[in-house]
Amino acid sequence: MNAKLPLYVTSGEPAGIGPDICLDLAERVDQRPIVVLADRQLLQQRAERLAKAVELVDYFGQTEPSAAGQLYVQHIPLNVAVTLGQLDAGNADYVIRQLDFAAEKALQQQSAGIVTAPVQKSVINDAGLAFSGHTEFFQEKAGVARVVMMLATKNLRVALATTHLPLRKVADAITEQRLTQVIDILIHDLQSKFKIADPRILVCGLNPHAGEGGYLGDEEIKVINPVLHRYQQQGINISDAMPADTLFTPEHLQHADAVLAMYHDQGLPVLKSQGFGEAINITLGLPFIRTSVDHGTALSLAGTGLAKSSSLMVATDLALHMAQSA
């Protein structure tokens, strides 16, 4: 990939810690431009409040990386003034405009990829804008049939068969078509974006004890394992559906490149317990690179100096690495 293309970083919810942690990107010296999408005055005010000596530089297509202490900014104007820690539906459109800008640049192949700081889904929906998450937003923008949400630490990758669904809807969403699409994307991106030639994948069952032979649910028998067996017959190194409470043990994980969980809170609590603050979110299946932090807006920490940017830094590192390898 062209080393002069910028990596765009959305600053997310303006009342949260997104602007705070984005300022720490000025401490980096990278091989390509890193550009924060934010209201310039908001960043300046937050830098002054946090006593961070950051020189904001308007981005007009510069091809050289910013110097240490400098931060490229693509100005996206706020709708209304921000009060620290207080959500305002008036700025919901501001958040969406960041995402729109980043997506358009990525789809036009005018960027190296996207890194996203956290947003507050509730306030966006309160403003009358339908929004279920970054993953679904970029899927719609890219016009792809399916994407896969995967979180990763240094030692563990967990992909999700379903994402932001109420628990009572999960079982109906586990279909042969969905599983096939998810596994195809997972295998493809592990090979193409992570350069793992023969990925080893462990799969969680949906039910306790993976259904225990049908006594605790039959989705494993009727849907999940038949799909997995077809991949096994093709020579893919993928397990049968396993009980999640035993799959997530060191004995099994040491032999896995990725875990496929059936729903959000089946896999992510385990991953975050191992590496919260240094875990990242990757959207697989998009025609561009997208990584994200693993935490929320932390409204109570905004402007306090207590927010940690470690997850943003890891997300940026991975996006840059994948861009370099593309």
Binding residues for a divalent metal cation: 164, 209, 264
DSSP 166: -
C-alpha span between 24 and 313 (Å, rounded): 9
Whole-angstrom Cα Rg for the chain: 20
Tokens of 38: 């934010």
Q: What's at 282, amino acid-wise?
A: I
Give yes or no for a contact between 277 and 312, defined as CB atoms under 8 angstroms apart: no
Is the distance from CB of 94 to CB of 81 less than 8 angstroms? no
Joined together, the tokens standing for residue 191 give 């090979």
Query: Which residues make Cβ contacts (< 8 Å) with residue 23, sequence separation at least 6?
Result: 43, 46, 47, 50, 52, 54, 71
What is the helix, strand, coil percentage profile of the chain, to 5?
Answer: 45, 20, 40
Q: Which of 117, 113, 204 is nearest to 162 (CA)?
A: 204
CA-to-CA distance for 255 and 16, rounded, in angstroms? Answer: 38
**Can you say which residues are annotated as belonging to the binding site?**
134-135, 164, 209, 264, 272, 281, 290
Please tell me the distance from the alpha carbon of residue 134 to that of residue 72, in angstroms, as a whole number.
23
- Cβ atoms 238, 201 nearer than 8 A: yes
**Residues contributing to the annotated binding site for substrate:** 134-135, 272, 281, 290
Q: Other CB atoms closer than 10 Å to residue 52's CB: what's the count?
A: 17
CB 262 within 8 A of CB 220: no
Local structure of residue 129 (DSSP, 8 states): -
The gap from C-alpha 152 to its chain's centroid, in whole angstroms, comes to 9
